[in-house]
């Protein structure tokens, strides 16, 4: 609960400490895009994936058990993977940019390719990356 409320009323970039049990977590307040999932469930928005034809083509490309992996098949699968990775990265970058400079609760639309997703910008607690403990010399 404390983590969810840690950034209530705080500015983006504010340093925050949250006590969780016996530990104290340090972090900052970050802003991110949160889609309106209720609208997506009603069918007003489609999931952020390719159209039906793209998904059908991908399903047909799975390897069958025991099928030899040829160089051509490997290259084709690698190309498809790289394309899906690039599309996923484009969606993530669009979501990050949608809320830069916005305020908490601001309604925004995210457009990726031909799809538009309604949502809002939310300020939330972002813990700092854990620092690994130095190895002890024996």
The pLDDT tens digits of the residues spanning 87-135 come to 889 888 888 888 888 888 889 888 877 888 889 998 888 888 765 555 5
- Segment 45-62 shows an average pLDDT of 49
Please tell me the distance from the alpha carbon of residue 111 to that of residue 117, in angstroms, as a whole number. 6
pLDDT at 24: 84
Answer whether residue 50 shows pLDDT above 60.
Answer: no
Residue 20: in which H helix or E strand, if any?
strand 15-20
Answer whether residue 5 shows pLDDT above 90.
Answer: no
The pLDDT tens digits of the residues spanning 55-90 come to 444 445 565 677 788 898 899 999 999 999 998 898
Please tell me the distance from the alpha carbon of residue 34 to that of residue 27, in angstroms, as a whole number. 20
86, HSE (Cβ side, Cα atoms, 13 Å): 7
Answer whether residue 45 shows pLDDT above 50.
Answer: no
- What SS3 state is found at 28? strand
Distance of CA 103 to the CA centre of its chain: 19
pLDDT at 52: 45
Which among 99, 96, 31, 24 has a CA at the least distance from the CA of 16?
Answer: 24
pLDDT at 69: 84
73, HSE (Cβ side, Cα atoms, 13 Å): 9
- Kindly report whether the global pTM for this prediction surpasses the value 0.95: no
């Amino acid at each position: 609960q404390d983590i969810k409320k840690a950034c209530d009323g705080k500015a983006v970039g504010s340093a925050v400490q949250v006590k969780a049990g016996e530990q104290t977590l340090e972090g900052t307040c970050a802003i991110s895009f949160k889609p309106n999932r209720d609208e997506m469930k009603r069918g007003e928005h489609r999931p952020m994936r390719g159209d039906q034809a793209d998904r059908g083509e991908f399903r047909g490309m799975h390897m069958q058990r025991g099928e030899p992996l040829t160089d051509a098949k490997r290259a084709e699968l690698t190309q498809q993977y790289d394309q899906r990775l690039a599309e996923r990265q484009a969606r993530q970058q669009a979501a990050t940019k949608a809320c830069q400079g916005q305020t908490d609760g601001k309604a925004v639309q995210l457009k990726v390719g031909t799809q538009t997703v309604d949502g809002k910008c939310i300020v939330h607690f972002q813990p700092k990356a854990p620092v690994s403990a130095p190895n002890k010399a024996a």
